[in-house]
Amino acid sequence: MKKKSGGNQHQDYYARLAKKEKYPARSIYKLEAIDKQFRILPKGVRVVDFGCNPGSWTLYSAQRVGESGFVLGIDINDAGTAFPGNAKFIRRDIFEIGPEELLSHGGKFDVVLSDMAPSTTGDRTGDHFRSMKLCHRVLDLAESVLTNGGYMVIKAFQGPDYPDLLQAVRSVFGKVKCQKPPASKSNSVEMFIVGIDYRPHDENREPGNESIRSTPLN
């Protein structure tokens, strides 16, 4: 019998754990790791989760923010998951939904999440540029719907335009951290950008306040 590689065992562990804990996907453990480090989801906050299908991030967020909080999950496809009373799902294209529609769900949000990724083609360069387009769209929306001092977490595929995305995020957040959680595949180019302390176009940010830790491309 052929032995499984260490990478496959790593993936199987998180997949089994997600099934055991009744989450629809193993991606929940990426958000959990980020939340444990930065405490982005305290009780009572309002969250918008872009690209929420199949629902693990929305479910985790709803559990963390509690009944006094609210989570709005958005995806171009049906989530196929039952959400608790403090979470709502709408099926929309991120390039068609606008700030007004987002704000109609109770006002501004304290946290913007995005685990969105393009359908991969095997062309890493093309996939990277499509990922950048999604990330910049999330950032554009975040600048209209995020409360001052809020958080943003977006998944990005590393590549030639990745530094430009980081610069755009740094321009509106007090601090920026780049994380590759343990649940990410070791050979993946995905990186999670964590924006901390949203400050709209604050030009008075002290030099050195940004902290960037990135992982090289494989």
Q: Which of 155, 175, 177, 185 is catalytic?
A: 155
Determine the Cα–Cα distance for residues 147 and 47; give it in Å rounded to an integer. 11
Q: What is the DSSP letter of 74?
A: E
191: Cβ contacts below 8 Å, ≥ 6 apart: 155, 156, 157, 158, 162, 178, 179, 180, 214, 215
For residue 29, give both structure tokens.
């453990």
Establish whether 2 is a catalytic residue.
no
**Contact by Cβ (8 Å): 116, 134:** yes
**Number of Cα atoms under 13 Å in the Cβ half of residue 17:** 14
Q: Is 81 helix (H, G, I), strand (E, B) or coil?
A: coil
Q: How far is CA 73 from CA 7, 116, 188, 197, 205, in A?
A: 30, 12, 25, 22, 32
* Active site residue ranges: 155
